[in-house]
Chains A and B, each alone.
Chain A
Amino acid sequence: MSADGVLDTLAAICLIAGALLSVAAGVALARFPDLLFRMHAAAKPQVLGLLLVLLGCALRLRNGVDITTLVLVGAFQLATAPVAAHMVGRTAYPHHDIRRDLLLTDEFAPHAERIGADRDGAPRPSVPAAAPQER
Chain B
Amino acid sequence: MSIVAVTVTALLALAGALTLVRIIRGPSILDRAVATDVLLAVIVAAIATEAAYSRDATALPVLVVLAVLGFVSSVSVARFAARKKDAK
Which A residues form the contact surface with B (CB < 8 A)? Answer: 8, 11-12, 15-16, 18-20, 22-23, 25-27, 29-30, 35, 38-39, 41-42, 46-47, 49-50, 53-54, 56-57, 60-61, 63, 65-66, 69-70, 72-73, 76-77, 80-81, 83-84, 87-88, 90-92, 95-97
Bound Cα distance A70, B22 (Å): 29
Lowest 3 A-B CB distances belong to which pairs? A26-B18, A80-B71, A26-B15
Interface residues of B in 36-60 (CB under 8 A from A): 37-38, 41-42, 44-45, 48-49, 51-53, 55, 57, 60
Please report the number of residue pairs spanning A and B whose Cβ atoms sit closer than 8 angstroms: 162
Which B residues form the contact surface with A (CB < 8 A)? Answer: 1, 4, 7-8, 11-12, 14-19, 21-22, 27-28, 30-31, 33-35, 37-38, 41-42, 44-45, 48-49, 51-53, 55, 57, 60-61, 63-64, 67-68, 70-71, 74-75, 77-79, 81-82, 85
